[in-house]
Amino acid sequence: MPSDERTAAILAALAAPRDAYRSALAATLDEVRVYRDARREGAADRHMQLGASLGLVGVAHVDVDRLAAVLSVEAALEPAAQAVMPRALAVLESLAARGDDACALTLVPGENLYEAVSRLFADLGRAIGAGRVVDLARSGRYRPADHDRWLEAFPFGQWSQAERRMAPPVVIELEGSDLRPAGLAEFLDGGAKIVLVVHGETSPAPLVRLITPRTFVAQTADVAVVQRLAAWDGPGIAGIFPAGGARFVHDPGVAGGIGARLTITEVPTLDGRRRAGPFSATQQQDELDQLKALQGAAAADLAVPVAPQPATPADPVDKLAAWLLQQADLSGA
Amino acid sequence: MSSSSPVVTKKARASKDAAGPVVIRVPEHTVEIVSDSGEGAQKCGQIFGQVSAKMGNGAWTVEIIPAEIQPPARSGPGASGNRIRIGTQPVTNWGDAANLVVAFNEQALLARHELEALHEDAIVLVENRWATHDDDDIRREWTTAMEVLGKQDYRIIPVPMEEQCLTVTDNPRRGKNMFVLGMLAWIYDRDIELIRDAIRQSFRKKAEAVARANIELMELGYRWAEANLDFRVEVPIEKPPTPMIVLNGNQALAMGAVAAGMDLCAMYPITPATSVSHYLGEIFEDFGGIVHQAEDEIAAAGVAIGASYAGKVAFTVTSGPGLALKTEFIGLATMTEVPLVVLDVQRGGPSTGLPTKVEQSDLLAALYGQPGDAPKVVMAPATIEECFHMVVTARRIAELFRCVVMVLTDANLATGVQPFPRPQLDPRWQAAPPDLRPVPEGVKPYDWDPASGLSRRFIPGQPGGMHTLTGLSHDEYSHVGYSPDVHERGCAMRSRKLAVFQTTLKPPGVYGDTKGDLLVVGWGSTKGAIEEAVDRARARGLRVSSLHLRILSPLEPGLKEIFSRFRKVATVEINYSDRLGDPYITRENRRLGQLAWLLRAHTLVDVDCWTRVPGQPLRPKGILEGIESMMPGGHA
């Protein structure tokens, strides 16, 4: 369980992406319950389920009893598939019943960060695994030997791109000496968001290694940065660090090049040459040099004059496209 | 809904006095905003319509779109804008004429007058800068137009729109629409905070300063109207009992696709269908779906068929010319029995036709566009709400019957905005995973039930299900058939499915008495206007009823029996038919409305028709005239 009071504020700031995950979970749960109810009820109820599946226009215009009479009833599930349904449902129900702090954990000093995050995603990912198991059972492809383990853990590496977009944000409290962020790059995909609340000394710019064009990366002492992370429609990591160390925000949500995306407010100098956690002084200096290099690139990017853009597209096809887009205004439904 | 009848009938005063504005209290009111293309009248109208609907008024909006991308400025054909009909009760069509018109120039106004779009005592707010313009020709045009308009009973109020906007912006051409929105907000007492929200939403992809400037212009218009106008319009609001949602038809189609659990929208841009994919493109990925813009219409159909064949739930969306290009692939889907939903947002044709204008002229192309016998299901939503729900139905029917389902909407539904009860989403609408169990030995890829033609669908990769997919005529094993018998049987099985589906349909309901002198039959977006015309006809003592079809192939059952209870049956459609009395046109050679052809063929009833192709929705008044002309004894 998280102990730092900042974690509560961080969890609150991450409500939107967490709600997206919970909404998908609830929708899956609904679908599985409806399916379960449809199968255990009588023929009349099954006709009702068939009717409902046609939508409101279908219900208004189709005689469902007659339709049911001409359609073959959905094939019975195999016994193994039938048996796994309640287990999948139980997984979904247990995950749905959890509070927000299910997405947070505190590392025991010395614990491996990569493994802990991996376990947390695999645990939360059981919702995806359970949904997949239900789909497989319904489509006749369920194999207990291959698929049962997805109800116990469903590792991030097996999530599809669409599933990664709905990844729940996670918050990890840890000691600076346990901060080995490089492995976390594996989880920075889709919509996955990781917030680290760091206690104690660590290297000065450990998160700089994770900066890529489409990844939000922030190293700061200010919890408010989490709101920007939550607003970003992509992967990201924010580290809330104690005093000292570098301070920067790389926000891909800001339009433009590296100069616009990267804001560096603090680049410290190393005081002496000593280890910080697992990082040697050379590695620490490398991080700072990398940050300075990015700072230089950002400055150069901002110095490049922007070529003037024509006010309206010159090409007739572009004009047409621009006009169509304008006509298709989809504001404010 | 009846035509508006002001409680206060005296004309609004010429100038404001201490007594405050006259309040015109009416059960419904219609406003038009017209400008040159690019001046933003449409955005103004859209926001006004949305806000009115959100406040609880019934609303129906219709876009007035020029045929050209950049028509000449200050020209009649270039008039662009929006008509918004709001009411205390739900509104089902755009009505007859506008009670209030806001015009950015007198030429657009004159064009609307010539199209009889203005009510005889309409109030007109018109930009006055043209009266004193530097260009002699423009001043002369203004004077000429005002002479024509001045002979009418309109009350014309010149408004210094540009002069006012210049106090806030350097480019009034980009701000007049918001000034006008502010005027309308004051006139109709709209919720100003809802309008601010709508403006922010509308400019959400631009810098914050853009939204701020537009809000400032809107507030300027509001204050100007408050200080200078002597009338207001009150259309009482009766909050609907259930939460409402405000969408246009294309947005409803897109949301319906999400609700139906669709996986893939394959399309190629074409007016007026494109915005389905724009809207879907913003949200589809969040639901695991993909919008694929193919290299052309044909490829879009091919991609959708391929995805569906592979077990995904796919659809393609297009309009008339695109439908023509997809013809061959729709035939392939029919022959291979790959479920496919085709959304056709109809526009005027043939060829490029009227890209931005409404027409219902794809019905026969949808039914019979493929060479060979290609039976398919054809449906047509009558309202924006049905656009949403019909996608769910279409998807399900396509899968249950392994067939092509075409959904015909039109430009009127596509761009019109109407509030409707917020759908209560049902997980059962979502597509079930395809059956991927191993195929038992002996089961064939087209294991047609000899009675129904139905068969289990195979998905590629299914153990034991390997077969060759072919567009050639084939037998149950999907082997190319060389004997006459094979083709005969395949055709019968594909056709039989439609017959089976027809036996599961309920007979359509009749609007009005179930027997009488004239039954008007319609389909698609004309429902609201037809029923309003029928109400007016019945109020005049005519024994008229109407019937609106949603499923056009197979036709809903019991039509012949229903028709037999009326002395005459006639369709009302937005497609072309010859008129008796025109040169060379006789009863023998007269070409009829498309639904009329279909109904005659199916029922052997002498179905008449009243059709028009004005490039705009039908008006209740016009339909009423049609009804009167078609009463037994007369012909349209």
* Average pLDDT across chain B, whole number: 93
Across B461-479, average pLDDT: 92
Q: What is the pLDDT of residues B188-203, one digit of tens each?
A: 999 999 999 999 998 8
Across B110-133, average pLDDT: 95
Closest by Cα among B161, B205, B167, B186 to B40: B161
Span of A59-73, B397-411, B586-600 with lowest mean pLDDT:
A59-73
So what's the pLDDT on residue A172?
Answer: 95
Record: contact A332-B197, CB cut-off 8 A: yes
Span of A41-50, B53-62, B565-574, B576-585 with lowest mean pLDDT:
A41-50
Band the pLDDT of B553: cuts 50, 70, 90: very high
Token representation of residue B60: 């129906």
Residues B507 and B551: beta-carbon distance below 8 Å: no
Note whether B457 contacts A: Cβ–Cβ < 8 A: no
Distance from CA of A30 to the nearest CA of B (A): 7
So what's the pLDDT on residue A73?
Answer: 54
Q: What is the pLDDT of residues B70-86, one digit of tens each?
A: 788 888 888 899 999 99
So what's the pLDDT on residue A74?
Answer: 60
Note whether A161 contacts B: Cβ–Cβ < 8 A: no
Distance from CA of A289 to the nearest CA of B (A): 35
Please say if the pLDDT value at position B532 is more than 80: yes
CB-nearest partner of B427 from A20, A30, A70: A30
Note whether B551 contacts A: Cβ–Cβ < 8 A: yes
Residue B626, classified by CB atoms within 10 Å of its CB into exposed (0-12), middle (13-18) or buried (19+), is: buried
Q: Which domains does chain B have, with CATH numbers?
A: 22-234 (3.40.920.10), 245-424 (3.40.50.970), 439-504 (no CATH), 516-630 (3.40.50.920)
Residue B487, classified by CB atoms within 10 Å of its CB into exposed (0-12), middle (13-18) or buried (19+), is: middle
Record: contact A71-B43, CB cut-off 8 A: no
Query: Which residues of B are less than 8 Å from A166 in CB distance?
Result: 286
Residues B414 and B317: beta-carbon distance below 8 Å: no
So what's the pLDDT on residue A257?
Answer: 87
Query: Which residues of A are less than 8 Å from B269 in CB distance?
Result: 321, 324
d(CA A220, CA A248): 7
Q: What is the DSSP letter of B256?
A: H
Across B211-226, average pLDDT: 96
So what's the pLDDT on residue A101?
Answer: 78
Look at A317 and B391; give whichever has higher pLDDT: B391
Instruction: Give B 241-300 residues with CB within 8 A of chain A.
Output: 245-248, 250-251, 260, 269, 271, 274-275, 278-279, 282, 285-286, 288
Span of A54-58, B382-386, B424-428 with lowest mean pLDDT:
B424-428
Q: What is the DSSP letter of B278?
A: H
Task: Say how many residues make up chain A.
Answer: 333
**Alpha carbon of B618 to those of A99, A327, B367: distances in Å?**
56, 22, 24
Cross-sheet strand order for the sheet of A170-175: A104-106, A170-175, A193-199, A236-240, A216-220, A247-250, A262-266
So what's the pLDDT on residue A42?
Answer: 65
Residues B305 and B332: beta-carbon distance below 8 Å: yes
So what's the pLDDT on residue B286?
Answer: 83
Residues B326 and B406: beta-carbon distance below 8 Å: no
Token representation of residue B274: 């494109």
Categorise residue B453: left if φ over 0, alpha if ψ from -120 to 50, beta otherwise.
Answer: left
Nearest residue of chain A to residue B202 (CA atoms): A331
So what's the pLDDT on residue A306?
Answer: 55
Record: contact B438-A140, CB cut-off 8 A: yes
Look at A178 and B204; give whichever has higher pLDDT: A178
Distance from CA of A288 to the nearest CA of B (A): 34
Please say if the pLDDT value at position B10 is more than 90: no
**Alpha carbon of B531 to those of A258, B327, B509: distances in Å?**
60, 34, 13
Matching residue, tokens 């449902």: A89
Please say if the pLDDT value at position B513 is more than 80: yes
Residues of chain A with pLDDT under 50: 1, 310, 328-333
Span of A71-80, B304-313, B349-358, B525-534 with lowest mean pLDDT:
A71-80
Strands A262-266 and A216-220: unpaired
Token representation of residue A101: 């702090």
Residues B522 and B570: beta-carbon distance below 8 Å: no
Token representation of residue A232: 């970003």
> What percent of chain B clears pLDDT 70, i.e. is strictly above it?
96
Instruction: Give A 68-87 residues with CB within 8 A of chain B.
Output: 70-72, 74-75
* Complex ipTM: 0.89
Angle between helices B208-228 and B192-202 (to 10 degrees): 150
Cross-sheet strand order for the sheet of B290-293: B290-293, B264-267, B314-318, B340-346, B404-410, B377-379, B551-553
Please say if the pLDDT value at position B305 is more than 60: yes
So what's the pLDDT on residue A325?
Answer: 53
Please say if the pLDDT value at position B6 is more than 60: no
d(CA A116, CA A99): 19
Closest by Cα among B82, B84, B88, B85 to B25: B88
So what's the pLDDT on residue B380?
Answer: 98
User: Side chain identity at B447, as an amino acid letter?
Assistant: D
Please say if the pLDDT value at position B211 is more than 70: yes
Residues A2 and A102: beta-carbon distance below 8 Å: no
